[in-house]
């Protein structure tokens, strides 16, 4: 009965959403798409590829070519990273890039089911089998949170938490400095920009000797994830890995 009630409620939500938003794909803006699809059509979905090996064992950056053995990329070999490893679900390009920018900066929350599906189907099963204790979303500075009215890492982290069966602890970290956007900064500038941007909050007993999954929407150089992981390790976490919906590609 509960499953049937949820199904009925979902159908009603889709009907309601169709009145508020045209059933048009938010990427190509040509094909039709429904609320349950996150308004991303089947043609656009077919262009999205999950990240698969070969990729750097540390930061998860994908590489083209015939690499048959585990490797660490040049950036990681010359960087001080505090997370044990980072993984992304899909590259930050094409359909994912277009829709994620709308989601974050235009408050297009109706696209969220599309991202939730990607995270749940790819990252969820892997984390469920690896014995992690907590999922911690990367926080926004209060000023940016007020401007955006939501934290994308927190919202998408809830979907991952349910899929992986790992509880989410959203109060473990706080952002204490309103840093510049990382988009136009070099790798070294990114690291310096966020080096002192985060602090631990809450009860240290909550993370003491715990294995933690740090979650964010996009990872490029890993500077933000590393800064957060450093704070969590200093507060007593045993291990911190990083997972993101998208993996930025350095060219």
Q: What is the pLDDT of residue 196?
A: 80
* Residue 40 shares a structural domain with residue 123: no
Backbone dihedral angles phi then psi of residue 243, each to the nearest 5 degrees = -125, 140
Query: Would you say residue 250 has pLDDT above 70?
Result: no
Q: Which of 93, 104, 39 is closest to 62 using CA atoms?
A: 93
Query: Would you say residue 63 has pLDDT above 60?
Result: yes
Structural domain boundaries enclosing 213: 50-247
* Residue 79 shares a structural domain with residue 8: no
Range 89-100 average pLDDT: 97
Q: Which of 71, 68, 78, 69 is closest to 57 using CA atoms?
A: 71
Domain end call among 12, 27, 47: 47
Helix/strand/coil percentages in the chain, nearest 5: 40, 15, 45
Q: What band does 123 get if pLDDT is binned at 50, 70 and 90?
A: very high
* Residue 135 shares a structural domain with residue 194: yes
* Residue 56 shares a structural domain with residue 13: no
List C-alpha distances in Å: 88 to 21, 211, 214. 30, 18, 12
CA dihedral 124, 12, 24, 146 (to 10 degrees): -60
My answer on whether omega of the bond before 99 falls inside 30° of 0, hence cis, is: no
* Residue 134 shares a structural domain with residue 152: yes
Q: What band does 191 get if pLDDT is binned at 50, 70 and 90?
A: low
Backbone dihedral angles phi then psi of residue 16, each to the nearest 5 degrees = -65, -45
Q: What band does 193 get if pLDDT is binned at 50, 70 and 90?
A: low
* Residue 32 shares a structural domain with residue 82: no
CA 23/CA 39 separation, integer angstroms? 7
* Residue 116 shares a structural domain with residue 10: no
Domain end call among 29, 47, 65: 47
Query: Would you say residue 180 has pLDDT above 50?
Result: yes
Question: What is the SS3 assignment for 163?
Answer: helix
**Number of compact structural domains in the chain:** 2
Q: Which two tokens stand for residue 27?
A: 């990427």
Q: What is the mean pLDDT of the chain?
A: 88
Which letter does DSSP use for residue 132 in this model?
Answer: -
Query: Would you say residue 117 has pLDDT above 80?
Result: yes
* Residue 83 shares a structural domain with residue 159: yes
């Amino acid at each position: 009965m509960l499953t049937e009630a949820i199904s009925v409620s979902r159908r009603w939500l889709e009907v309601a959403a169709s009145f508020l938003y045209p059933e048009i794909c938010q990427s190509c803006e040509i094909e039709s798409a429904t609320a349950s699809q996150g308004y991303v059509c089947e043609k656009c979905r077919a262009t999205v590829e999950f990240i698969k090996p070969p990729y750097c064992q540390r930061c998860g950056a994908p590489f083209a070519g015939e690499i048959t053995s585990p490797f660490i990329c040049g950036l990681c070999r010359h960087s001080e990273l505090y997370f044990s490893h980072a993984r992304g679900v899909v590259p930050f390009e094409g359909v994912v890039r277009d829709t994620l920018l709308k989601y974050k900066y235009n408050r297009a929350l109706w696209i969220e089911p599309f991202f939730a599906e990607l995270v749940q189907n790819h990252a969820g099963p892997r984390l469920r089998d690896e014995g992690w204790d907590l999922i911690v979303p990367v926080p926004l500075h209060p000023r940016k949170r007020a401007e955006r009215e939501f934290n994308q890492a927190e919202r998408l982290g809830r979907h991952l938490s349910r899929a992986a069966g790992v509880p989410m602890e959203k109060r473990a970290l706080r952002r204490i400095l309103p840093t510049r956007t990382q988009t136009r900064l070099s790798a070294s500038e990114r690291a310096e920009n966020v080096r002192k941007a985060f602090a631990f909050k809450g009860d240290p007993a909550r993370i003491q000797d715990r294995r933690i999954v740090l979650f964010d929407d996009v990872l490029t150089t890993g500077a933000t994830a590393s800064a957060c992981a450093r704070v969590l390790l200093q507060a007593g976490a045993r291990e911190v890995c990083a997972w993101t919906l998208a993996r930025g590609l350095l060219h």
